[in-house]
Amino acid sequence: MDKDTAIKIVDLYKNFGSQNVLNGINLEIKHGEITVIIGKSGGGKSVLMKHLISLLKPDMGEIWIDGVDITKLKERELNEVRKKFGMLFQEAALFDSMNVIDNVAFPLREHTKLPEKEIIRLAEEKLKNVGLSGFGYKMPSELSGGMKKRVGLARALINDPDIILFDEPTSALDPIISLTILDLIKETQERFKKTYVIISHDILGMFRIAHKVAMLYNGKIIEYGTPENVKKSENEEVKEFLKATGIPGFVGGVL
Ligand SMILES: Nc1ncnc2c1ncn2[C@@H]1O[C@H](COP(=O)(O)OP(=O)(O)OP(=O)(O)O)[C@@H](O)[C@H]1O
Ligand SMILES: [Mg+2]
């Protein structure tokens, strides 16, 4: 595995019953880059991301992280690996019985020995970053979908993980907040140079912040490269997909 590779996915297969969702995924995600995974709804993007933290097990294939194939690990060893990750799930997945601040603070309480005062300070700071100052003592049930998403984002970033997985970080957000979140992701990534893997249908926004774009189609990665190169792809499926997005400078479509 190259030393600039953070995650290497080799021939990954996953079926649900008779449905082939992942059909031989090969992808190398580089350290310190934002890699955006695009593809049609129901195409297996979330399933792929759940494999990266071993919430789903493949039928076949390997996922290498820091020299270890995590598909072979036991649950206890996986917990060690998972400490390296921050994850925002598509549905935000907050703990409903905990208030906002406790949700955001959770990774710090789990994985660090920081004093309580410092934990609260950091959690409040992250809430401020996502525009939710003053909401720390609300319960998730009192928040809108977009607010929950932002709490999930604050939680994913709080313990400064090496690899950050975002599943649809800007869906369910209004355009202004969406831009704020994109800027936050970009700034945070530039500051700490961690590895980000983002799934998003916000193609325009993601092409602005991505270092690399990977397109999933029929259970395989059919295109991978810089946004500029992916825009110029000769692959018909990629062209068809991008045609619908109205990306400036996209020449494969109608323009
Ligand atoms: N736990 C599961 N059991 C059975 N089928 C599943 C499971 N999880 C996902 N699937 C199926 O796998 C396929 C891919 O789902 P996935 O959620 O990965 O799509 P996606 O690309 O993330 O779509 P979207 O863009 O709409 O979020 C879907 O047909 C879905 O029904
Ligand atoms: Mg999904």
pLDDT digit string, tens, across residues 19-47 = 999 999 999 999 999 999 999 999 999 99
> Residue whose CA is closest, atom 28 of ligand 1?
42
Has residue 254 got a pLDDT over 50? Answer: no
The verdict on residue 22 lying in a domain is yes
In a domain, 162, yes or no: no
Q: Is 31 contained in some domain?
A: yes
* Mean pLDDT, the chain, whole residue set: 92
pLDDT of residue 249: 64
Q: Domain of 75?
A: 1-84+201-248
Q: Could you tell me the distance, in angstroms and rounded to a whole number, from the CA of residue 34 to the centre of ligand 2?
A: 18
pLDDT of 250 reads 65
Query: Is 161 inside a domain boundary?
Result: no
CATH number at residue 3: 3.40.50.300
Q: Where are the beta strands (DSSP E) in the chain?
A: 5-16, 19-30, 34-38, 60-65, 68-69, 85-88, 163-167, 195-199, 212-217, 220-225
Q: Is residue 127 part of a domain?
A: no
CB-CB neighbours of 96 under 10 Å? 9
127 C-alpha to center of ligand 1: Å?
A: 30
Going by pLDDT thresholds of 50, 70 and 90, the confidence category of residue 251 is low
- At residue 29, the pLDDT reads 97
pLDDT for position 246: 73
Cα 44 to ligand 1 centre (Å): 5
Inside any domain, residue 13: yes
Q: Is the pLDDT of residue 252 over 80?
A: no
Q: In angstroms, what is the span from residue 4 Cα to ligand 2's centroid?
A: 27
Which of ligand 1's atoms lies nearest the C-alpha of 48? 18
Q: What is the pLDDT of residue 248?
A: 66
Residue nearest to atom 1 of ligand 1 (CA): 16
Q: Which ligand 1 atom lies nearest to the CA of residue 216?
A: 21
Report whether pLDDT(255) > 50. Answer: no
Classify residue 132: in a domain, yes or no.
no
Q: Which atom of ligand 1 lies at the shortest distance from residue 45's CA? A: 21
Which range of 20-29, 91-100, 126-135 scores highest in mean pLDDT? It is 20-29
Residue 130 has pLDDT above 90, yes or no: no
Specify if 222 maps to a domain: yes
Read off the pLDDT of each residue in 188-204 and give the average, rounded to a whole number.
93
Query: Region 128-141: what's the mean pLDDT?
Result: 94
Report the domain count for the chain: 1
